[in-house]
Structure 1
Amino acid sequence: MTNPTPELDAEAMYSTLLQQVKAGLAQVENVALVGIHSGGAWLAERLAADLQLTERLGFVDVSFHRDDYAEKGLKADVKSTQIPFDVEGATIVLVDDVLYTGRTTRAAINELFDYGRPARVLLAALADRGGRELPIAADFLAETVSLPDQRLLVLQRAEDGRFFLTVDHA
């Protein structure tokens, strides 16, 4: 593992994201959170606890819905999708750690629609690193980060549950 990136305080970024989501959902009913494995799932778990939405928490693994599946292959650690609530008519906050090309978000939306038709899908992301290939933008965003294409911004979770970010080679 590489060292945490000191200029990117993932805990401070999480606090910013939490405040945005809390304010944005203040008057919204039938809300549920769906985290994209794995970093987005970690964020969604913590958001659900902080927003008292633990009964309305789900997770998606987009491995089989990605349009570049044939090119990238299957990850060794595929997780199962778990959506234990009715998606139909719900306002879903899709949670991801790093927004980049938009392909993961598109795949997650496709997966969601396999479970029903939400009234609305909002996107919450800890970091947006640009480089979009699809017209996707976060509704709730903690920070915009610039990185060269050959670098990856990776959310890590320590044993005590605290978040930190690392920059790895692609």
Structure 2
Amino acid sequence: MSSARVLFDAAAVDRALDAMAVAMRADPLFLVGIQRGGAQVADALQERLVRQGCRVHRGNLDISFYRDDLDTIGPNPEVRPTRLPFDVTGRLIWLVDDVLYTGRTIRAALGELFDYGRPTAIRLAVLVDRGGRQLPIAPDVVGLRHQAPMDCSVKLQSGPEGWRIVQRRVRP
């Protein structure tokens, strides 16, 4: 596997998160992060929104058992608890993820979210839209855009200065 190429440094990620929080501002706001990367992004957005004076309710979804590729993730997937400490019925829910690619993760998250109730509406916020959709999924708020080749992964990575977005070739 080749070394990672930094697409967006910590300063660019911080600016993107700031802009996303401004675009999402509402009071109250219901944020649901998709485990793992989306939950981290939702935490960062919550901090910014609270500083803007918004009341933010936070939850997390683990979509491990809602995926359409369960047969490929191995016998012992890392499962984290879903935590929704509020009723989703009748609420506008912001679903948050780190990187949007095919749309399959979002499809799985929508399936799980509807198992908890019937929101009035669901909006999608993603830190990075890398293109390559296979399903008709479109984000409402996007922090950064990067058209990545299919043979590359795009990841949120923690570094000494903060988060950055990296791309790595996954197939020769």
TM bracket, shorter-chain basis = 0.7 to 0.9
Q: Which structure 2 residues correspond to residues 53-68 of structure 1 after superposition, within 5 A?
A: 56-68=57-69
| Structure 1 position 153 matched with structure 2 position 151 | no
String of CA shifts for 1:60-97, please: whole Å, max 9, x gaps: 11111011222334664221111111111111111111
String of CA shifts for 1:22-73, please: whole Å, max 9, x gaps: 23434xx542101111111101011112112675111111111011222334
Counterparts of 2:68 and 2:33, CA distance in 1: 19
Amino acid paired to 1:15: R
- Equivalent pairs counted in the alignment come to 167
Matched with 1:82 is 83
Give TM-score, length-normalised by structure 2: 0.84
Give TM-score, length-normalised by structure 1: 0.85
> Normalized per residue, which structure has more strand?
2
Structure 1 unaligned blocks of 5 or more: none
Is the Cα–Cα contact under 8 Å of residues 153 and 165 in structure 1 kept in the other structure?
Answer: yes
Counterparts of 2:156 and 2:147, CA distance in 1: 15
Matched with 1:120 is 121
Structure 2 unaligned blocks of 5 or more: none
SS in 1 for 2:150: coil
Shift of 1:151: 1.0
Tell which deviates more after alignment, 135-144 or 46-55.
Answer: 46-55
Matched with 1:138 is 139
SS in 2 for 1:166: strand
Counterparts of 2:30 and 2:15, CA distance in 1: 19
Matched with 1:19 is 19
Counterparts of 1:115 and 1:82, CA distance in 2: 11
Change (3 A) 1:55 1:124: closer
- Percentage of pairs with the same residue: 43
SS in 1 for 2:59: strand
SS in 1 for 2:22: helix
